[in-house]
A = this chain, B = another copy of it.
Amino acid sequence: MGVRKSTRKNGRKKLDLRVVILAGGSGTRFWPLSRQQNPKQYLKIISDKSLIEETANRLKGLVPPSRLYTIAVAEQTRMLKRLLPRLPGNNFLVEPEARNTAPSLVLTTASIYLKNPEAVVIALPADHFIKDIDEFRRKLMLAAEAAYRFKKIVMFGIPPVSPATGYGYIHVSRSQRQEINGEKFYQVRGFREKPDLPTALEFMQSGEYYWNSGIFLWRADTFAESLRDYAPEMFSAWIKLLPALRKNDRQEIRRVFLEIPALSIDYALIEKIYGSLMSPGDFGWSDLGSWSTLYDYLPEDEDCNVSRDRVVPLEARNCLVFNPGKLTALIGVENLIVVNAGDALLICRKDQDQKVRELVEKLKKEGPEYL
């Protein structure tokens, strides 16, 4: 794909948007469905499409396939090409190793920088859910405009609907803000990881704290400047990456990539920056962090049993069933999560689905073939 110059339309600069779907994640919170070889982004848990297909489909019409990228290790590329056949082959970026999001996004942004330093990069997790797609698209366009115009890193913060203790929170100033078309972009004052419950309650009541959605936007040149100012080590890697990418020197790319600390972009860069902007994302976001989060998004019967599959309840309430193509009968039970993955079956109390991690740890010894 050649470098496209940004053009003017109606006297306004047309944005060069480049979306990067972070497709390399692996996780076990959806065990027994998610496995080492079949991580969450490939699961069809909300619809008949995988989460990564849903993520790409959400952008249709907003960004042409030619400006949609994925980044993942080489082993996942074949699966990604199968799921996202409209993307040009060169858009499946390959990271030399799975090393969290900071190295991935330095590499991706550097590639895009070489095409157009003013391009706006949108970094999207592959495995989240968004209910109100129209609102998401509207906000995304405005956020891209803000990232371009204000030359700041822009992120989406989710207005908390519960005092969640498992999320990172973004702290904003309500008075210091920018606006585009009446849409507010609040200046970020700081970040707080996983507060305790009383703190999370305070956060919720204050109106100044938002959940970190992991959706970030930046101009490629803004990103480079941020590295220079706030993460000098990563900036030195950036400096070496550009010529290596230009020459397509894979060995050098790999070498420099491995220099970048294996950290999340949040921790390695975003949280160090002063003056980023946050847009409140009230578009029905969920990170689908565990089985119980699906209660809000799957079809529900009159007794609050939720499932996309065939369930026959008898005095059963509030159960989540995932048993594709099979029948599930429930008698006298409530608040259960039931997941049948064929070779493995999970029955879990609704309020204990965080313990799936612990179970997976146990399986590392007792049944690694099921991971």
Contacts and interface: CB of A to CB of B under 8 A. Distances in A.
Nearest to A353: B331
Interface stretch (A16-24, A211-219, A278-286, A335-343): A335-343
A328 B345 contact: yes
A212 to B, nearest CB: 28
B310 A332 contact: no
Interface string A304-337: 0000001010111001000100111111110010
Contact of A366 (B312, B316, B331, B363): B312
A355 B332 CA distance: 9
Identical chains in the assembly: 2
Contact of A347 (B31, B310, B336, B363): B336
A151 to B, nearest CB: 48
Contact of A329 (B32, B319, B326): B32
Given A312-B366, A314-B359, A345 B326 contact: yes
A239 interface: no
A352 B331 contact: yes
A331 B349 contact: yes
A360 to B, nearest CB: 9
Contacts of A359: 312, 314, 329, 331
A25 B352 CA distance: 42
B328 A344 contact: yes
Contacts of A342: 326
A366 B323 CA distance: 17
Nearest to A351: B332
Interface residues of A, number: 40
A136 B30 CA distance: 50
Given A327-B367, A362-B314, A345 B355 contact: no
A358 interface: yes
B345 A323 contact: yes
A346 to B, nearest CB: 5
A328 B31 CA distance: 12
A319 B348 CA distance: 12
Given A326-B343, A347-B336, A331 B314 contact: no
A362 B312 contact: yes
Contacts of A32: 327, 329
A320 to B, nearest CB: 12
Given A336-B347, A348-B332, A355 B323 contact: no
A346 B340 CA distance: 11
Nearest first, the 4 A-B pairs at minimum CB distance are: A332-B349, A332-B352, A331-B348, A327-B344
Interface of A: 31-32, 310, 312, 314-316, 319, 323, 326-333, 336, 338, 340, 342-349, 351-353, 355-356, 358-359, 362-363, 366-367, 370
